[in-house]
C-alpha cells in the first residue's frame, strides 16, 4: 500500500470528526511560522496551534530566503504581523555541503549547479542569519521576528 | 503577549509529555508531502502522520517549483521515495494575480518584479501542473506522485 493510500484511510477518520468547516482564510493569530520540513517536528502539536491559527511554511532547514515568496503573500494579502523561525538540532542541513549534494546529483547524471541548497554548518548562526534575512529584506514588513532551536531529543524550543 | 510567547507556554506542555526523543532523521514512511501553508490545514492530524513519519514541505499554494530544493534534499540525502501534493479549496492563491501583488508592493515603495508568486486560477489544473512539474524534472527521482485537493469545509482530501 502506498503512503497515499494510507493517508486516504487516515483522512476518512479526520473528516468524520471534522468540526472546523467555517474558519476564515486569514490566520486567526496573525503569525507566519517558518520551520524545517524535518519529519520529527509536528508544529501544531509542539507549539499549540489549532486549525485556523497560523501560516506554517516548511522547507529543508526552515530557511528564510526559501520562504520569502510565502511570507510576502502571508503578510501583504493575508494579514500576518509576526514571524517565528524554528530550526532544530540534528538537522539534515548540518550533514552535508552544497557541493557534496551537487556531486551526488552529477554522479547520477543530473546537474544542479544552478541551485543553492542552503546547507549550514552552525545551527545557532543559521537562526540569526534567517532572522536577519527577514529583518533586512525590504519586501518583508517590519514585524516582530523570533528565532528558536527545537531540540528533537526533548521536544523543547529554545529561543536564540 | 506575542504569539512567540504563547507558543513558548504551549511548548512546555508538549515537552513535559514528550516521548519521541530517539527517532531517526530519515522519515520512517519515506514520503515527502508538499502542502499549502494555509492556516486551516493540519497535515499531521488530517493525514494521520506521527512524529518521524514524513517530510512536510509547506509554502503558499503548495507549489512544486518552490519545493524543488527541499524535495531533492529529501530524496537524495534522506531516502524518501514517494511524493504527495495537496492544494485546497478557498486557497489564497486563487484570489489574486501576480501583477496585483506586485502593484501592492510597488504602491508601498517596494519592488518585487523579480519574484514569481505562483498564483493560479484553476485549482485542479494547479495540482496537475505540480504533479507534472515533479514528473518532468530530471532532478526529481522517478517515484509515485499523488495529487489531492483538500476541502477546507469538510476536512476531506479528494484525489485529482
User: What is the secondary structure of chain A as a DSSP string?
Assistant: --HHHHHHHHHHHHHHT---TT--SS-TT-EEEEEE--TT--HHHHHT--TTSEEEEEEGGG-HHHHHHHHHHHHHHH----EEEEEETT-GGGS--HHHHHHHHHHTT---TT------S-HHHHHHHHHHHHHT-TTS-S--EEEEEEETTTTEEEE-
A122 to chain B, closest Cα gap in Å: 18
ipTM computed for the complex: 0.98
Among A5, A39, A42, A92, the residue to mutate for chain B (most B Cβ within 10 A)? A39
Q: In a mutagenesis test of the B interface, which of A1, A2, A3, A156 is the best target, namely the one with the most B β-carbons within 10 Å?
A: A3
Q: Which of B25, B47, B152 sits opposite A7 (nearest CB)?
A: B47
Interface contact B37-A55, CB threshold 8 A: yes
For A123-147, what is the mean pLDDT? 98
Task: Give the confidence band of B126 by pLDDT, cuts at 50, 70, 90.
Answer: very high
pLDDT at B98: 97
CA dihedral B120, B122, B127, B133 (to 10 degrees): -50
Give the one of B58, B146, B154 whose C-beta lies nearest to A15's C-beta. Answer: B154
Q: What is the pLDDT of residue B127?
A: 98
CB-CB under 8 Å, A68 with B66: no
> Looking at the partner chain, which of A8, A27, A29 has a beta carbon nearest the beta carbon of B157?
A8
The reply, when asked if residue A111 is annotated as ligand binding, is no
**Three-class SS state of B56:** strand
Beta bridge pairs of residue A56: A33
pLDDT digits (tens, 9 = 90+) for B9-25: 999 999 999 999 999 99
Q: What is the pLDDT of residue B22?
A: 97
Largest CA distance in chain A: 50
Going along chain A from its start, the domains and CATH numbers come out as: 30-93+121-159 (3.40.1050.10)
User: Which of A37, A76, A157 to substitute to test the interface with B, most B CBs within 10 Å?
Assistant: A37
Residue A55 is predicted with a pLDDT of 98
Nearest to B120 by CA among B148, B85, B144, B91: B91
DSSP assignment letter at B147: E
Q: What is the pLDDT of residues B71-104, one digit of tens each?
A: 999 999 999 999 999 999 999 999 999 999 999 9
**Min Cα–Cα distance to chain B from A25, Å:** 7
Q: Indicate the pTM of the whole model.
A: 0.98
| pLDDT of res. A92 | 97
Positions at the binding site of B for Zn(2+): 36, 38, 88, 91
Amino acid at each position: 500500500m502506498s503512503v497515499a493510500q494510507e493517508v486516504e484511510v487516515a483522512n476518512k477518520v479526520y473528516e468524520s470528526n471534522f468540526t472546523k468547516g467555517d474558519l476564515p482564510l486569514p490566520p486567526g493569530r496573525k503569525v507566519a511560522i517558518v520551520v524545517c520540513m524535518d519529519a520529527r517536528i509536528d508544529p501544531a502539536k509542539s507549539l499549540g496551534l489549532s486549525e485556523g491559527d497560523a501560516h506554517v511554511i516548511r522547507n529543508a532547514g526552515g530557511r528564510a530566503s526559501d520562504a520569502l515568496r510565502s511570507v510576502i503573500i502571508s503578510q501583504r494579502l493575508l494579514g500576518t504581523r509576526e514571524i517565528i523561525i524554528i530550526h532544530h538540532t540534528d538537522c539534515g542541513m548540518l550533514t552535508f555541503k552544497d557541493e557534496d549534494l551537487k556531486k551526488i546529483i552529477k554522479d547520477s547524471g543530473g546537474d544542479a549547479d544552478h541551485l543553492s541548497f542552503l546547507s549550514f554548518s552552525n545551527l545557532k548562526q543559521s537562526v540569526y542569519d534567517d532572522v536577519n534575512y527577514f529583518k533586512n529584506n525590504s519586501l518583508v514588513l517590519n514585524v516582530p521576528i523570533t528565532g528558536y532551536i527545537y531540540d528533537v531529543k526533548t521536544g523543547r524550543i529554545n529561543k536564540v
